Each structure stands twice: as structure tokens, then as C-alpha cells.
Structure 1
Amino acid sequence: MFKYLILINPLGFMYGSAGAFLSPENLVGRSGSKFPPEAATLSGLFFSVNQAQKLWDEEQLSNNLYVAGSFWAEWENPEYFYVPIPWTKIIAENDSSEWEIRNGQWHNNNSKLEPYYQWQRINFWNHTAEEIRSNGYAEKSPWQFVSVLHPHLKDDERCTLKIDDAKGGLFLEYSVQLDPEYCLVYLSTHALPDGWYRFGGENHIVEINSFELPDDSPILELLRQPIQDKFALITPGVWGSNRLSQRSPQNEFFPNHENIQMLTDKPIPYRYRVGDRKTKRGRLGRGRYAVPSGSVYVLEQSIGKPWWNWDEKWFPKEGFSLKRMGCGLCLPIDIKRY
């Protein structure tokens, strides 16, 4: 089971992903933005730190490291961090509603209501949408994107290319500013030594602290609850074979996968880079489509086990099981059925 919260405080701006190529004929918006970094980024940092400091046996770390995220929290209260709101709960600024199942179909009394909040405090996970809204435990993302427009640089030096070069033009890049009262949060089985690290695609400097969860933590108690026939994802879920993405696990280990009711949005890109431990080089980034966080599953049969005890055969294997990066981490939910 997870034992630590890894708290990440960006020291200034962080990289938020590059936008599309810009030219006078092709001006686009924030098409390629992505934040916060996936759990794979933190997993890579563990192995990078271990190469330099030899904190763990490399084989032991490879077999036993599990991370999940990303979430965020208030610096003064990191244990009760914020997770994506399940799609069954619609929390607007001044109103709320919930989806129900009536006669086998999804039903909502206020179908015109649009969600205003995307995150909720994890210790209020089992509360109704109205209780979460009225008590102020629903929030919007505590970061904002800041655009940076810059030209291409030469491959071997930090000088701009000439206009007539093949790669001439401008790039629109987005940095991210996180409210200083908050930090990014990841669940982990291991702790990193407190300090400053390079983190993310552009190696921005961040401050990292490890917070140990006590054995009687209500967060661990929630994570230990067995998943029955209804659950919601709090991290993106990558299902299917190693070559094909699906909306749910497609093998005999998942009960009646052909009769699943879902509330979800369109798939999201899920990319990460896999390193080669023998050559110490990074391999080409892997790309898949993931079911977004907040998606809700309703099964015909109960699973009866918490996510932590799910068989790793349920998850695609890209050199290692994606369960090690918190793929599809989920919590049980209640849905009214008539």
C-alpha cells in the first residue's frame, strides 16, 4: 500500500507543454498544454536519484516502486489533498446535482447544469455533491497558464535559427504558475530525501518533501476499501492490450466487461518515456489514450478487492505493468438506483 505523499513545490514557473507550431498562416491556441506532470515523471525521478545516491537496490526499486497522481493540496494540510470529482456529481457555483440510474439508464434532474468545480477534498469523498459544495470542499485548479512565444533554437547552441532555415518560425509554449499556498501531491510506496530537484520535461527546479501517512490515516482507510460494483477513477486509466486502448479492461479477469455502464469524457493523451537501465539512455516516448480521471464505472458483478490488490494482468504492460504508475487508481462510490 502507498505509505507516503510526495509534495512538490515549483520554484517559480513550471513547464506546461508546448503548443502547436506557429506561422503567420497558422495561429493556434493552447492546443498542446498538459499539467500537472503524470506519475511517470515522478517515477523517473526516483530512478534518476537512485543512480546518483544509491538509496535502494535497483532491482528492488524496479519491482516495488508504485506511484500515483497527480493531485494537489494546501501546504498546511497535505494529508487531505484534492482529487478529481466523480462524473456522477455536478457541482456548479450555486447549485449541484447528481446522476442516478433509473431502469438501467443514466438520469439527471438538472441536465443543463454545468460543472464549475473539478476537484474535491478526498476526506469528503463519500459526501453528496450538495454537502461538498455547501461546505466549501470543492475547488478549481490552483494554477494558471502563462504563454511564452519564442523562436526555434539551433540544436547545438542557444541561438535562434535564421528565417530562411527549414525550422524557422515561432513556438507557443506554456509555463504554469501554481498558487504558492498549494503544492502538487503524489502517492508513493517510497520516500524521496527532502531537497531541490529538477522535475518535468524542461527540468524546472522544484522543492520536494515526503510526508509519511500514519497507519490509521483516513486516506489509507479509504484506499483500502474494496471496490464493489461501482467506482470512479481518480487517475487516468489505460486499459486494453499493449497496442490498443480500450475504455475498460478487456480480459477474463474483469467481471463482465461487456456489460459496463459508464459516465466519462473523450479519451486524453497519455505519454511517458521509458529508460533503458542497461544503456542508461531514454527510449522513445510511449503514447496511449487514457480514460480521464473522474470517469465512473458500474459493473454487473462486484470485484470485492481494493485497487491495490487488483492483479497486474488487468493492466497493459509496456516493459512493466502500468499499475506501477497508478494507472486507473479508483475509489468506491454510491449511486442511487431505481
Structure 2
Amino acid sequence: MFKYLVIVSPLGFLYGSAGAFLSPENLVGRSGAKFPPDAATLAGLFFSENKSQKFAPHETLKQELFVSGPFWANHGDVANFYVPLPRHRIIDNSKDDEWRLSPQRKWERDPQKLDIEAEYRWQSIDSWKRPNTADIRKNSEMSRAPWEYVSFLHPQMKLDERHVLDEDGLFLENAVQMDEDFCLVYLSTYALPDGWYRFGGEGHMVDIRCQEIASDSTIHQLLTTKIQKTCALLTPGVWGSNHLSYRYPKHSEFPKEGIKMLTDKPIPYRYRIGQRSTERGRLGRGRYAVPPGTVYVFKQPLDKTWWEFPEDWFPREGLPLKHLGCGLCLPVDIEGVA
């Protein structure tokens, strides 16, 4: 079970995390955008810091470290962090709507609201079990992401002095700026000592502190509640083998018959394993994933928590992807599902 909230407060711009830099040869802008850093980034930090701080033997850490995220929160209420809004909920400033299942097990919604667009993609974890979308909007428990993408001129320094190159010394790069009142939040089975760390491929400086998850907290209660006929993903879901990805586990223990999904187009899921110092070097792993917010409805009860999902439901590349919080899901109420 996850024991800690890992709270990451960025210090300044997170350049590079917003995607490929801009140049005359690369005008695609944010096509490679990837923010916030995924759980694999945090796992890499744990293993890196463990070399010097030794809070667990390497093999023990490899077996027992589970991380998941990313989420975000207000510094004043970290325990009530924000998670992706399930796809059956559609909320904007003035209206709300929900998808439901008809008696024929078909997704349907109010035909008078077909033109509604979702303005919000996040909801607080404390509002997860609200009976309907209208209550979430009434209590203002939904939000937009507290970061924005900006572009700025980045200097390219001379090799032998701290001056910009005389020619082509500046290039335009994408960056992310996060509101200082907010922080990123991850779930973990281990805690990092509080302090400043380099975090992510660009080596950004961040302030990290950890907070124990209380047994009476909403997230603890949800994680220990068995999923019956409905659930929604909080993180990207990668199911299947090392060679093929599926929309749900192709496993004999998984109730595949009559499954219904409410989802969006697949998203890239990529991370690196290995060390720069080894002959093999770092190996990039990439595949498509089912996006966060995807809703699953089963014909037969699943009767498992995410913690009880077998590891062979997930690909294993370096670490089983379950250790990186892949496919973390929580039970959710859907109108029309008994």
C-alpha cells in the first residue's frame, strides 16, 4: 500500500519539460510536450539517491518500491490533491453533464447538452465519491492545471567562459511555469529525506518533502475499496506483453466479457531504463497507453483493489510497470450501473 505523499515544488522554470525546443528547423512547438514528469522519473530519483543515502538495499527497493502519479495540490491542503476527472463527467463554469449506461449497456447522455465542452480536467480527491457532477461543480471541487506553457530565449554558452556564443547564441525554448502556491504530488511506498534534488532529464532543482498518508484519508479509503463493476484510471494504463499493448488486460483472471469503456485517443507512454555508464547505455521504451480518466464498466464484478492486480497484467521492462503506478484506478459510481 502507498504510505507517503511525495510533494515536489519546482524552483523556477521547468524548461525542456514542455517538449522540443523551437528553432527554424523545428517549428512544431509543443508537439513533444510532457509535463508533469511521470512516476518513472521519481522512481529513478529513488534509486539514484539510494546509492548514497541507503534507505533500503537495492534488491529490496527493487521489489518494494511502488510510485504513482503525477497529481498536484495546493500547498495549504496537500492531502486533498487533484486527480484526472473521469471521462463520464463533463464540467464547465455554467453547466454539467454525465454519461450514463442505458439498460442496453450503451453509453448515452442528455441530447440537449451534446455541444457541451469540458473546461475542467481535474477534480479533488475528496470529491471523488460525490453522487453526481453537479455537486462537484457546486462545491468548486474541479480545477484547471496550475501551470502554463511559456517560451523564452535560452542562451547557449561558450565552452571556456560564461558568455553566450557570438553567433546563434540564443534559441527559443518551451518551458513550464507553475504557480508557486501549488506543488506536484506522487504516491510512494518509500519516503525521500526532505531537501533539494535535481529532478527530471533537464536536472531541474526542486524542493521535495514527504507526508505520511493517514489511515482515515480519502485516498487511503479509496485504495482499499475493492473495485466491483466500475472504475476510472488516475494514470496511463499499459496492459499486455512487452511487444503488444491492449486497451485492457488480456488475462484469464480479467473479466473481459461485455466490458464497456469510455475513453479518449491513446497517448504516448515512454521512459528510459539503464545507466549512462554501462555499455548498453540508456534504453528508451515507448508504447501507447490508455489515457487517464478512462472509465471501465464490467459485466461481472472485478472484486479487486489495484494492489491486488497481478503483475503479469502489465508489461515487464526493467521493472514491472505496476511498480511505476501504471493503470492506477479507483472505483467510481456510474448512473445506470447496478
Equivalent AA in structure 2 for residue 5 of structure 1: L
Match of 1:104 in 2: 105
Equivalent AA in structure 2 for residue 129 of structure 1: T
What pairs with 1:122-141 in structure 2 (closer than 5 Å)? 122-127=125-130, 128-141=132-145
Q: Report the Cα offset of residue 268 of structure 1.
A: 0.8
Sort the Cα spacing of 1:156 and 1:112 in 2 relative to 1 into closer, same or farther, 3 A. farther
Match of 2:231 in 1: 231
CA distance in 1, matches of 2:221, 2:41: 27
Q: 2:120 aligns with which of 105, 117, 122?
A: 117
The more displaced of 12-21 and 65-74 is 12-21
Equivalent AA in structure 2 for residue 241 of structure 1: S
CA distance in 1, matches of 2:159, 2:323: 34
Match of 1:147 in 2: 151
Q: Report the Cα offset of residue 18 of structure 1.
A: 2.9
Match of 1:207 in 2: 207
Matched, 1:298 2:301: no
CA distance in 2, matches of 1:131, 1:232: 19
Sort the Cα spacing of 1:192 and 1:337 in 2 relative to 1 into closer, same or farther, 3 A. same
CA distance in 1, matches of 2:164, 2:279: 30
Identity percentage over the alignment? 54
Q: Report the Cα offset of residue 9 of structure 1.
A: 0.4
Q: Report the Cα offset of residue 249 of structure 1.
A: 1.1
Secondary structure of the structure 1 residue equivalent to 2:55: coil
Secondary structure of the structure 2 residue equivalent to 1:68: strand
Sort the Cα spacing of 1:158 and 1:41 in 2 relative to 1 into closer, same or farther, 3 A. farther
Confirm or deny: 8 A CA contact 1:22 1:169 kept in the other structure: no
Confirm or deny: 8 A CA contact 1:144 1:178 kept in the other structure: yes
Equivalent AA in structure 2 for residue 104 of structure 1: R
CA RMSD of aligned residues (A): 2.6
CA distance in 2, matches of 1:155, 1:227: 57
Match of 2:334 in 1: 335
Normalized per residue, the structure richer in strand is: 1
Q: Which of structure 1's runs of 4+ aligned residues deviate more than 4 A?
A: 149-163, 168-172, 276-282
What pairs with 1:1-338 in structure 2 (closer than 5 Å)? 1-15=1-15, 16-19=17-20, 22-23=23-24, 27-102=27-102, 103-109=104-110, 110-127=113-130, 128-149=132-153, 172-256=172-256, 259-275=258-274, 279=278, 282-337=281-336
Aligned residues between the structures: 332
Confirm or deny: 8 A CA contact 1:23 1:170 kept in the other structure: no
Q: Report the Cα offset of residue 177 of structure 1.
A: 0.9
Sort the Cα spacing of 1:280 and 1:330 in 2 relative to 1 into closer, same or farther, 3 A. farther
The alignment's TM-score, normalised by the length of structure 2, stands at 0.91
CA distance in 1, matches of 2:170, 2:249: 41
Sort the Cα spacing of 1:169 and 1:251 in 2 relative to 1 into closer, same or farther, 3 A. farther
Confirm or deny: 8 A CA contact 1:238 1:316 kept in the other structure: yes
CA distance in 1, matches of 2:59, 2:194: 23
CA distance in 1, matches of 2:176, 2:279: 30
Sort the Cα spacing of 1:277 and 1:22 in 2 relative to 1 into closer, same or farther, 3 A. closer
Q: Report the Cα offset of residue 159 of structure 1.
A: 9.0
CA distance in 1, matches of 2:271, 2:171: 22
CA distance in 2, matches of 1:169, 1:27: 18
Q: Report the Cα offset of residue 173 of structure 1.
A: 2.9
CA distance in 2, matches of 1:156, 1:270: 38
Sort the Cα spacing of 1:272 and 1:154 in 2 relative to 1 into closer, same or farther, 3 A. farther
CA distance in 2, matches of 1:133, 1:324: 34
CA distance in 1, matches of 2:170, 2:226: 51
The more displaced of 288-297 and 8-17 is 8-17
Q: Report the Cα offset of residue 279 of structure 1.
A: 4.3
Secondary structure of the structure 2 residue equivalent to 1:79: coil
Q: Report the Cα offset of residue 126 of structure 1.
A: 1.3
Q: Report the Cα offset of residue 319 of structure 1.
A: 2.3
Secondary structure of the structure 1 residue equivalent to 2:30: coil
The alignment's TM-score, normalised by the length of structure 1, stands at 0.91
CA distance in 2, matches of 1:101, 1:28: 40
